[in-house]
Chain A
Amino acid sequence: MSAVFSKDGVRGLRISWVLLALALVTSAALAAGSYWFLQQEKRDAITLAKRLQQSKARNDAVKREIEDMRASSTVFQDLLDRGILQEGSRLDFIERLDQLKNSHGLINLEYEIDPQRVLTLADGRVFNALDVMGSRVKLRLKALHEGDALAFLEDLSTPKRGFNAMSRCHLQRIERASADVSSPRVEASCTMEWISLKDKVKANAS
């Protein structure tokens, strides 16, 4: 061993020691570099796996959405035909009230239409793409027969276009004071929501 570290040894082994050092450095660099790249690739793999999962999830969501839409499209088309996304015409509504009053032989009909407002649903549901708009309509009517009043209210609640939701109604028999058969026998006082929907997406786009 002393020969290795003697003057001759140091001189004769100088290149070998340098080669060993180079080998150590190269080997360490190779090992560390390849390990670093492998770990980097593994990290990328985790990221890509998440991205793939997200892509799959988004794809599944789109597929579900398409299925939902296919199932809903018929219903939606009917609703569109009924003008669910159109702002109702008050003039049409008033004319319709008059028409129904006459067709059901109401003796008296008074109404009051409140300004339209955004309805909040009592069950807390919120629609991202829609605003549920409602105009509260208060009605007071008198009829000869309760059947006329009920038929009027039924026709009013199920219009061909638009949606009316009768939320409250008070029906009361009127005791006749005289024998006049033309005097009303029933009076009703009702509250109704005249509903239309507003497309928030379209509104924001425009």
Chain B
Amino acid sequence: MAANHILYLTNTILVSLVANGGRISQRKTFPVSGGGASAFEAHVVGLRGLPTHVITDLAEEDFRLDTIPHVGSRDRQAVMARKLTQVFRNSTYRHAIAQGREPDGRRDHRVVYTAITNDEILKPWVEILQRLEVPVEGIYSSAVLSGRLLDALGLNFAHTLLVTFNPGGAVRQTYFRGKELRFSRLSPVDLEEGASLGTFLAEETTRTWQYLDSVRYFSPGDRLEVCVIAHPRDRAEIEPVLRDFEPMQNRLIDIEQAAGMVGMKPPPASSSTEALLAHVFLRRGEHNHFASQDLRRFAVIRRARIAIQAVSVAVLAIGLAYGGWNLSFLLQVSNKNQQSVDRALAIDAERDRLLKSIPSQGVAGQTMRDVVAFHSGSMRAYPTVASFLLPISAVLDRYPDIRLSQIEWQTADDEMATPTLVPIAPQAAPPIKALGPGKASSPATAVRVAAPAEGSFVTGRHAVAILEGTVRVDGLGYRNALEQVRNLVDELGRLDGYRAAMIDSPLDVTPKGGIQGKFGERTPASSQARFSLKVTLMTRPKP
């Protein structure tokens, strides 16, 4: 609990209480007359920063009961304010409290108006507080606050008369019906000769009961619980004198026990209840009763200052928190970045080490790769004429009637490539020859297809050859000759990697071409029929 400054004003003295951390840490009294005000001003200078609460316990405090019709909350406040002005026209310090509603009829609101009827009592103190710019939070009626004390002590009766001693040598009697304040009066303790505090209290409480009874606060059978809060030192003087009778019962409340009940430490040293009330007030809080807005302005400014500073701290904290949050991520990312840099450097170092370990063999690695790639792609399986013809020769050995006359061979990237061949007519031409539409009477002529550009180097993925030869035809034995050439083509085609196709047949007997024959007196014994084949060898597939 923050430090608070409580001023308890009576008709004779002003008590200054400084509460800190829930305890009354400082107590000082100032007489209301003489040099009390100047001493008080000097005292307050050191406490001007503390929120200050003024509790009045004055004989000049008046109470009026009233009822107002039930209206809305704002209207009720307006009615109460207007009536308060009417009731206490000349008082600056006035307050209205709506306490409850009538149980029947219009169910009007019960209101108690209270005011300090003499402003001059407060004036010197208020002027000092204003001059020193003391943050006055409010001015409170001790009688109203005593209702809080009743609650705190658990003294909840139908009719309660709370009797308290104030530091100004007076006794305040406050009557509560249920929890509603109905009446309060302050009596200075002015003991006549031979009288004791007990007899004084007995007389005063009896007189109060008589007054309350006269204004018909009690119904038959009602009993007034008189609760006297006193220090154990005064108990012996009070207790024997207080006499209970049918409508009134006395309860002597030990102020030390009461302090224990409300958690006040240390307990008050006398029967004076200002510290007890101050403690309950600080614990339970209370809205301002009498202080005007102008009087409270330094308190408002103080609260605003605290709020602005709290906002400043909050803003700064948010900034710091957000900055810290970003910073934590930043550190994480930065840490990762550093790791990335380290890893990159390590990888670079490893690469440098690897590059140094590359076997150079006198040339750059790229050169080595290119050389090997060129060799693998273009040279390693490059075909040769002999290797191409060797398997063909082995097949031809099985065909004694077939004789090759010329071979046009070339390497190619495409098996569709076909070398050009100038046909050679056989010496012993057959009596029958084909007349193809595109070939006319000349033997078959191959067509050059997609020959590589001059200067370019074919990779030798294929070897292509046109084989031209003759087959012996005995008499008109073309069937046998055709059969032999076809078989030759088939056998060549079955060789591993080879393909063979006939270009020019020994005799084209398909209907699309013409045939020209010339028979003399005798059929020739044998002749040579020309044919040509295309043979391809794929040395390696396309990559």
Q: Which of A108-136 contact B (CB under 8 A)?
A: 117, 119-123, 125, 127-130, 132, 134
Once the chains are docked, how many angstroms separate the CA of A150 from the CA of B390?
9
Contact A157 B384 (CB under 8 A): yes
Given contacts A34-B327, A38-B329, contact A27 B341 (CB under 8 A): no
Q: Considering the chains assembled together, what is the distance between the CA atoms of A200 and B293 in angstroms?
A: 99
Q: Is B419 located at the chain interface by the 8 A CB criterion?
A: yes
Chain A residue numbers with a CB within 8 Å of B406 are: 170-173
The reply on B348 being an interface residue by CB < 8 A is yes
The 0/1 profile, CB within 8 Å of B marked 1, for residues 65-77 of chain A is: 1101110110111
Q: In the assembled complex, which residues on chain A have CB atoms less than 8 Å from the CB atom of B515?
A: none
In this complex, the interface size class of chain A, counting residues with CB under 8 Å from chain B, is: 35 or more
Chain A residues near B322 (CB-CB < 8 A)? 27, 30-31, 34-35
Cβ-defined partner of B309 (8 Å) among A9, A16, A167, A201: A16
Q: How far is the CA of A59 from the CA of B354 in the complex (A)?
A: 9
Q: Which residues of B contact A24 (CB under 8 A)?
A: 312, 315
Binds A, one of B18-26, B170-178, B279-287, B360-368: B360-368
Nearest-CB residue, chain B, relative to A197: B371
A121 (CB) vs chain B CBs: closest residue: B457
User: Do A4 and B300 form a contact, CB below 8 Å, given A31-B322, A52-B347, A69-B365?
Assistant: yes
- Chain B, residue nearest A136 (CB): B455
Residues of B contacting A125 in the complex (Cβ-Cβ under 8 angstroms) = 377
Pairwise interchain contact B309-A41, C-beta atoms closer than 8 A = no
Complex CA distance for A2 and B412, rounded to whole angstroms? 103
For A63, the chain B residues whose CB sits under 8 A away are 354
Q: Which residue of A lies closest to B414 (CB)?
A: A122
Residue A206 interfacial (CB < 8 Å): no
Beta-carbon contact of B330 and A153 below 8 Å: no
Cβ–Cβ < 8 Å partners of A22 in chain B = 312
Known contacts A26-B319, A129-B366; is-contact A73 B361 (Cβ 8 Å)? yes
Quick one: closest A residue to B404, CB to CB?
Answer: A173
Complex: how many Å from CA A44 to CA B424? 79
Known: A44-B337, A68-B369. A154 touches B385 (CB 8 A): yes
What sequence of 0s and 1s flags, for each residue 27-60 of chain A, a beta carbon within 8 Å of any chain B beta carbon? Answer: 1111101110110011011001101100110110
Given A38-B330, A168-B419, A201-B363, does the pair A130, B411 have CB atoms closer than 8 Å?
no
Q: How many residues does chain B have at the interface if contact means C-beta atoms less than 8 Å apart?
A: 91
Once the chains are docked, how many angstroms separate the CA of A157 from the CA of B379?
Answer: 11
A166 CB-CB contact with B under 8 Å: yes
* Residues from chain B with Cβ under 8 Å of A171 in the complex: 385, 406-407, 409
Q: Contact check: which of B316, B351, B354 meets A23 at CB < 8 Å? A: B316
Say whether B261 faces chain A, with CB atoms less than 8 Å apart: no
> For the complex, is A165 an interface residue (Cβ under 8 Å from B)?
yes
Q: Does A94 contact B (CB under 8 A)?
A: no
Q: Report if A199 contacts B (CB, 8 A).
A: yes
**B315 CB contacts on chain A under 8 angstroms:** 20, 23-24, 27
Instruction: Find chain A residues with CB under 8 A from B296 CB.
Output: 3
Complex interface residues of chain B between 442 and 466 (CB less than 8 A to chain A): 452-453, 455-460
Report A154-186 CB contacts with B as 1/0, cut-off 8 Å: 100110000101111111110100000000000
Q: Is B103 located at the chain interface by the 8 A CB criterion? A: no
A45 touches B336 (CB 8 A): yes
Give chain A residues whose Cβ lies under 8 Å from the Cβ of B320.
Answer: 27, 30
Q: Chain A residues with Cβ under 8 A from B203's Cβ?
A: none
Whole-angstrom distance from the CB of A169 to the nearest CB of chain B? 5
B residues near A31, Cβ cutoff 8 Å: 318-319, 322-323, 326
From 300 to 342 in chain B, residues with beta carbon under 8 angstroms from any chain A beta carbon are 300-302, 304-305, 308-309, 311-313, 315-316, 318-320, 322-327, 329-330, 333-334, 336-337, 340-341
Contact A16/B308 with A51-B344, A119-B457, A132-B457 known, Cβ cut-off 8 Å: yes
Q: How far is the CA of A122 from the CA of B351 in the complex (A)?
A: 36
Q: Which of A58, A77, A165 contacts B382 (CB 8 A)?
A: A165
Q: Is the CB of B459 within 8 A of A129?
A: no
Bound complex: CA A103 to CA B132 (Å): 134
Q: How far is the CA of A153 from the CA of B305 in the complex (A)?
A: 110
Query: Are A8 and B364 in contact, with the CB atoms below 8 A?
Result: no
**One of B305, B411, B460 near A12 (C-beta < 8 A):** B305
A16 touches B312 (CB 8 A): yes
Asked whether B33 is an interface residue with its Cβ less than 8 Å from the other chain, the reply is: no
Measured CB to CB, the closest approach of chain A to B223, in angstroms, equals: 49
Determine if B410 is an interface residue (Cβ-Cβ < 8 Å): yes
Distance, CA A173 to CA B366, complexed state (A): 47
Beta-carbon contact of B323 and A34 below 8 Å: yes
Decide: A119 near B455, CB < 8 A? Known: A37-B330, A168-B409: yes
List chain A residues, Cβ under 8 A from B410: 167-169
A-to-B contact residues, CB < 8 Å: 1-4, 6, 8-9, 12-13, 16-17, 19-20, 22-24, 26-31, 33-35, 37-38, 41-42, 44-45, 48-49, 51-52, 55-56, 58-59, 62-63, 65-66, 68-70, 72-73, 75-77, 79-80, 84-85, 117, 119-123, 125, 127-130, 132, 134, 150-151, 153-154, 157-158, 163, 165-173, 175, 190, 193, 195, 197, 199-202
Please list 19 pairs of residues, one from A and one from B, whose beta carbons are closer than 8 Å in the complex, sorted by A's number.
Answer: A9-B301, A9-B304, A23-B316, A24-B312, A24-B315, A38-B330, A52-B343, A55-B343, A66-B358, A69-B368, A73-B361, A76-B371, A85-B371, A128-B370, A129-B369, A165-B460, A166-B384, A170-B408, A173-B405
Listed from nearest, the 6 A-B pairs whose CB atoms lie closest are A27-B319, A34-B326, A154-B386, A30-B323, A3-B297, A23-B312
4 extra interface residue pairs, beta carbon distance < 8 Å, beyond A165-B379, A172-B407: A20-B308, A34-B327, A38-B330, A170-B408
